[in-house]
Amino acid sequence: MTYQEVNTLTENIKTFLELLNNKMETNQIDTYEKLIVFLETIEITDKKLLPLTGYLGKVLDVIQLLKPNSTRSKNAKKYFRNSLKRTGHDFLFDELSDEDKQKLFDEIINSSALYILLEVSNFTYSSDINPISSLRNSMGDRLPEEYFSELLAGWFIEDIFINQLKNKGFEIDQIGVDTNRKILFKRPKNMGDADILIKYQNKEYKIELQRVGKATKPTKIDNEKNESVIKTTLKSHKISDNKVLTILWFGKEPKGIAQINNFLYEKICIIKNSDINNSANNEVSYNENNIFIDKNYIENNSLSDWNELKSSSITDLAQKLHLE
């Protein structure tokens, strides 16, 4: 860029900021909403100024997230509740203390604000290294607070489950990469590893806990008529380790599980990965993106609901978890 181009751009920025300042001093812009309208409607003839308005808009997004009573801040909490409702686990919301809930909300809001600033930083400095590229791909067209709410809803379910096992007397270690419950902007390769290690007497298992809000009963499997097998989503790498228990926690009347399959509602199905990987076992199988479970296996290897888990003795639970 030549000296003249820099000088012209600087003058244009100065004019833009003077106009903005005048609007604010005369109370024509005295709310965040009016600032948004101003940024959306102002005519900018110099294309080099467009990034500046985008930058101010992103900063405004951050301010609205961090301001406690703003619409965007309130919506971040709604996204979290909606994520639980989607899988039918909203009934568990009151199991955590107000302090723990606030920690979850703070993580969603603060991480979303940081994510937006990283977007601005990467754009402003035209960096070839984008620290949030993997997150951006996973996020799709969702807002960061929507996407992070989904992640934290999974942690929420894990924390409730872990707390109950600890209360029973099990020795529990949290061994996953997200143990600190902080959003990782650069996701490690071992992100999919089991997060919970449970020990009882002389046995131990890793636990991969999945909340499930969608399951179907396909009419055919491998071109054979299906009478009793249920299909739900589970990545195959989740069940590759035979020393892991895969626990599917089905939600309470989620839209993704039809009434005809209501025997699944609230069940906590405990699957030994060795059963899945045993070719002689025809009650559990999988492909790359789905797990197929016979109804009898679910009935014989499940807690009926959350209340049964809470009321069970440690010895009864140890038997269900194959720790005896």
pLDDT in tens, the chain (324 residues): 455 655 665 676 677 777 877 888 888 887 777 877 777 676 655 555 666 666 777 777 888 888 888 888 889 889 999 999 999 999 998 888 888 888 889 999 999 988 888 776 655 444 455 567 667 777 888 999 999 999 999 999 999 999 999 999 999 998 877 777 888 777 666 566 788 999 999 899 999 999 999 999 888 777 778 878 999 998 777 787 888 899 999 999 999 999 999 999 999 999 998 888 887 788 998 888 889 999 999 999 999 999 999 999 999 999 999 987
199 - beta bridge partners? 171, 204
Angle ∠(208,315,239) on CA atoms, nearest 5: 20
| Six token digits for residue 111 | 């991480």
pTM (2 d.p.):
0.80
Q: At what angle do helices 71-86 and 144-168 cross, to 10 degrees?
A: 50
Q: Provide the pLDDT for residue 125.
A: 46
Q: Provide the pLDDT for residue 1.
A: 46
The rounded distance, in Å, linking the Cα atoms of 148 and 104 is 10
Q: Provide the pLDDT for residue 318.
A: 94
Q: Provide the pLDDT for residue 266.
A: 96
Q: How many other C-beta atoms can be found within 10 angstroms of the C-beta atom of residue 103?
A: 15
Q: Which helix (H) or strand (E) holds 118?
A: helix 98-124
Q: How far is CA 289 from the centre of its chain?
A: 18
List % helix, strand, coil for the chain (3-state, nearest 5): 50, 15, 30
247 - beta bridge partners? 209, 270
- For residue 204, the SS3 value is strand
Q: Provide the pLDDT for residue 13.
A: 64
304-311 long-range Cβ contacts below 8 angstroms, 24+ apart: 304/266, 304/267, 305/265, 305/266, 305/267, 305/268, 306/91, 306/92, 306/266, 306/268, 309/164, 309/268, 310/164
